[in-house]
Amino acid sequence: MSKKVDKIRRQLDAKRKKRSTSLHQRQRSAPQIYQQHDEAREHDDVVIPPSAPKGKNNTESKQPLIRKDILLLQMMGSICLFLIVGILFQNPSPTFDSARDFIYRSMTTEFEFDTIAHWYEDQFGRPLALVPPTTNVALDQTDEPNVDYAYAVPASGTVSESFDQNGRGIFVETSKGSQVEAVKSGVVQFVGQDEEEEGIGKTVVVQHYDGGESWYGSLGDIDVNVHDHVETGDIVGTTSKTNGDREVYYFALKEDETFIDPLDVISFD
């Protein structure tokens, strides 16, 4: 009889221990609630979930876009360089003549973008354009299947000397004081007297972005400079040769190092 009583007592003790253990675990997993002072009772109590780590910032620190130490070094280097250049130009010593000449040439000489562009195309090919260049199409020339590129009209007029007669370009007779416009976008490569062709006088050569060149000669006033970027329709100069109320200008087109007949791609009427 006493053995049965001891067995029942041990079973009750085991159930009591199991119940107390589960209760303790539930209390540990419950969120901690910190009560506030009486003067802040109108606000809700602060609840900290048990999974949140204490004393740590959950947001990851992001790397700054500009590091302050590198920016400071760059500023100090720029200031030092500025002071060195100022000392070179303020010091009349002939020892620094070569350095002064180099700095002066570097700051006053125009950068030849067209030369770099030619080198880049020779080495790596033509760059891919995100936006295709706009091209003004010459009138009455868009239906010809053999025309690869169409050009704008530099200045309307009548052809007085054809490509067959000149061998390199044409002369166009137009009204007095006419403005000669660029036929295609590009970079001004040459401004001055054309020594290869007699009777052309002041000449402007524009190298097109998509290859080729356009030549504008017999100009009176020139409105562009070397390395200027011109768009289709920009004024490069005005005519100069006077023949009564009419004037003449020279025009030539060059594709793949060869002059072509402008009348094949442009209508001057």
For 80-115, what is each residue's pLDDT tens digit? 999 998 888 888 888 888 888 888 887 776 666 666
When the candidates are 2.70.70.10, 2.40.420.20, 3.40.50.970, 3.40.50.300, the CATH number that belongs to 158-264 is: 2.70.70.10
Report the pLDDT averaged over residues 13-37.
Answer: 64
Question: Which of 41-50, 111-120, 135-144, 169-178 is predicted least confidently?
Answer: 135-144
pTM of the model: 0.50
Residue 232 burial (CB count, 10 A)? 17
- pLDDT tens digits, residue range 8-19? 778 777 777 777
Q: What does the chain come to in residues?
A: 269
Does 33 or 173 have the greater pLDDT score? 173
What is the pLDDT, as a whole number, of residue 67?
83
Q: Using CA atoms, how far apart are residues 207 and 167, in angstroms rounded to an integer?
A: 20
What is the pLDDT, as a whole number, of residue 46?
54
Does 185 or 124 have the greater pLDDT score? 185
Residue (of 196, 219, 216) closest to 206 by Cα position: 216
Provide the Cα torsion 55, 56, 57, 61; round to 10°: 140
- pLDDT tens digits, residue range 224-261? 999 899 999 999 999 986 656 788 999 999 988 899 99
Spans of all domains in the chain: 72-108, 158-264
**In percent, how much of the chain has pLDDT > 90?**
32
